[in-house]
Amino acid sequence: MSEKVDNDRDLSRFRPVVTESDNVKATRFLGLCKSCGQCVEKCPVDAISWDEEELGMLGEPAITIDMDKCIGCEMCEQICPDSAIEILNRRTEAAMNQEESTEEK
């Protein structure tokens, strides 16, 4: 698992932090997180918890994701009202690309 600030895009004011496992890349935009807790509540594998070191936009703890637990279901991305999480599931992505290339033939 690795953790680094994503400088590829000019989104630095949203404080993006990237964590990765073999199959999932999760970007948390700490500057957008309002600490509402919806993602913490809905994650099916309890992979999301409160970050004890990073604060969100309202000065409350932001969230952190345990990439050893995360299955890349994208529920948190879909439920977050502030677009503070972006999930890339490489397995889903690869399956979709495979499907598209089969359809093109």
20 binds ligand SF4 (CB under 6 A): no
Q: Do 38 and 81 form a contact (C-beta atoms < 8 A)?
A: yes
> Does 17 contact ligand SF4 by CB under 6 A?
no
Q: Which of 47, 51, 64, 86 binds ligand SF4 (CB under 6 A)?
A: 47
Count of residues binding ligand SF4 (CB under 6 A)?
A: 25
Tell me the C-alpha distance between 49 and 26, whole Å. 14
CB burial readout 46-78, b (16+ within 10 A) else e: ebbeebeebebbeeebbbbbbbeebebbbbbbe
Report the residue number, 17 or 87, with the smaller CB distance to ligand SF4. 87
Euclidean distance between CA atoms 86 and 83, whole angstroms: 7
Segment contacting ligand SF4 (CB under 6 A): 9-17, 32-40, 97-105? 32-40
- Per CB under 6 A, residues contacting ligand SF4 are 33-39, 43, 45, 47-48, 63, 65, 70-76, 80, 82, 84-85, 87
